[in-house]
Structure 1
């Protein structure tokens, strides 16, 4: 995988939990149980795709710019996008995409919960 830093990067975000969904072969990353990213593995356990939610217009634009960004694998193709784990998407762009995915889900949490998660970071 060209992006071995992903697990640590995602787990550093406020309130993020993760699990392994065995029947899907996915590492899922969530905020309060709402998934914002997933690392999809092949049958041998090797990372295959990184999926995240994006604004539909931005996702469509990025898919036109990079052959390694495709509509979300087993996800809503309008809102979710997948990056090939062995692809050539620049690290900075992938980090930006993952942060935007996190922000989209974070923004849907109740304001009180958002404040609690932000306060956790300062403690």
Structure 2
């Protein structure tokens, strides 16, 4: 996955905005004001921090060397995924969608319904 594909995919979900609270080099993708993906899109290798179910995160890290504990994040809930490595693009997309869904699941019910994700 390349940087433009990553950006386009993250922005394809409902109510997502790209923000730059840490400076122009770090894209922060938010849903309803809550972070679900963070990436320095111009860096190599291309990595993205994604929220992950804490029960699944260790399994993913054990199975894929390109998935590690989240850089500068809560290591229990966040993974750093090297998106332009040997991981299949479909897996990266699924991890991004899972991150989005986890964040949406934590929103108030009215917000979830507005986003069509009860």
* 1:94-109 alignment runs, 5 A limit: 94-109=92-107
Following the alignment from structure 1 to structure 2, what is the Cα–Cα distance between the partners of residues 46 and 69? 17
Q: Which protein is bigger by CA-based radius of gyration?
A: 1
TM-score normalized with structure 1 length? 0.83
CA distance in 1, matches of 2:75, 2:31: 21
Query: For the residues of structure 1 that align with 2:65 and 2:24, how far apart are their CA atoms?
Result: 24
Asked if structure 2 preserves the Cα contact closer than 8 Å seen for 1:28 and 1:38, the reply is yes
Residue pair 1:68, 1:83 contacting (<8 A) in 2 also: yes
Secondary structure of 2:17's match?
strand
Q: Verify the 8 A CA contact 1:3 1:91 in the aligned structure 2.
A: no
Runs of 5+ consecutive residues of structure 2 not aligned to the other structure: none
The number of residues matched between the two structures is 116
Scaled by the length of structure 2, what TM-score is found?
Answer: 0.86
Matched, 1:93 2:91: yes
Task: Give 1 or 2: higher strand fraction.
Answer: 1
Following superposition, the deviation at residue 40 of structure 1 comes to 2.6
Aligned ranges 1:1-123 → 2 under 5 Å: 2=2, 4-23=4-23, 25-40=25-40, 45-47=42-44, 48-118=46-116
Q: What is the CA–CA distance in structure 2 between the aligned matches of 1:55 and 1:29, rounded to whole Å?
A: 18
8 Å CA contact 1:21–1:28 kept in 2: the answer is yes
What value does the CA root-mean-square deviation take over the aligned residues?
A: 2.1
Between the aligned partners of 1:112 and 1:9, the Cα distance in structure 2 is: 25
Mind listing any 5+ residue stretches in structure 1 that lack a counterpart?
Answer: none
